[in-house]
A and B are shown apart, each in its own frame.
Chain A
Amino acid sequence: DAGVIQSPRHEVTEMGQEVTLRCKPISGHNSLFWYRQTMMRGLELLIYFNNNVPIDDSGMPEDRFSAKMPNASFSTLKIQPSEPRDSAVYFCASSSTIGGDSGNTIYFGEGSWLTVV
């Protein structure tokens, strides 16, 4: 089975441009997470969805960030307008359930490496 698939793997964009990161979770998983990793702040949870519904977006840094999950197999994280401080690695992750077996494992994609110049 394919793992979590993210695109693009690498993106370099100019400040002010819109950036859209995409994620396809593992088939059958109903929880999806977006994390951001930087040297200064480590791994931060931005938002997570359960059954396509945003459950907790308290980690989204500001209004320039938005995330959607229109169906069970696709999610986007959008930054508009982008700024140099948004440069980071953005990870998407998925797992099978929320509220059930607490031993469920969260699987990560390989990340989208974003540089805003």
Chain B
Amino acid sequence: GNSVTQMEGPVTLSEEAFLTINCTYTATGYPSLFWYVQYPGEGLQLLLKATKADDKGSNKGFEATYRKETTSFHLEKGSVQVSDSAVYFCAPLGTDSSYKLIFGSGTRLLVRP
């Protein structure tokens, strides 16, 4: 089955710093890859996705590139804002019979002014 490993948090950055949150996965076939974000007290929101190798998903200044050779989908942003403080989840969606998202443990990001 699918599994995902995210970097341990919390990640604490100053505003306008560069962000990278690492994500590697194991999956059967070639899964679609997703990043979700959860703001305090809220549910999960889709941040971005990529459906095939070398695709780049992007949204709100965040980017992640589907790297099949390294089975990775690292999340990046060039200049974080305080409002980006949240928990970020990486998740592969399998192409086998189990069509479900398996989430990593999440990485908490705290951006200080």
Contact = CB atoms under 8 A, between A and B. Distances in A.
A108 B102 CA distance: 14
Interface in B2-46: 30-32, 34, 36, 42-46
A31 B106 CA distance: 24
B103 A98 contact: no
Contact of A110 (B32, B42, B46): B42
B53 interface: no
Contact of B43 (A55, A99, A104, A110): A110
A contact face: mostly helix, strand, loop, or mixed: strand
B43 A102 contact: no
Contact of A42 (B30, B51, B99, B106): B106
Interface string A69-88: 00000000000000000000
B88 interface: no
Contacts of A33: 100-101
Nearest to A106: B101
Interface residues of A, number: 23
Contact of A43 (B46, B98, B103): B103
Interface of B: 30-32, 34, 36, 42-46, 49, 51, 89, 93, 95, 98-106
Interface of A: 31, 33, 42-43, 45, 48, 50, 55-56, 91, 93, 98-99, 102-111
17 contacts: A33-B100, A33-B101, A42-B106, A43-B44, A43-B103, A43-B106, A45-B101, A48-B100, A55-B99, A93-B44, A99-B99, A102-B31, A104-B93, A105-B34, A105-B49, A106-B93, A108-B43
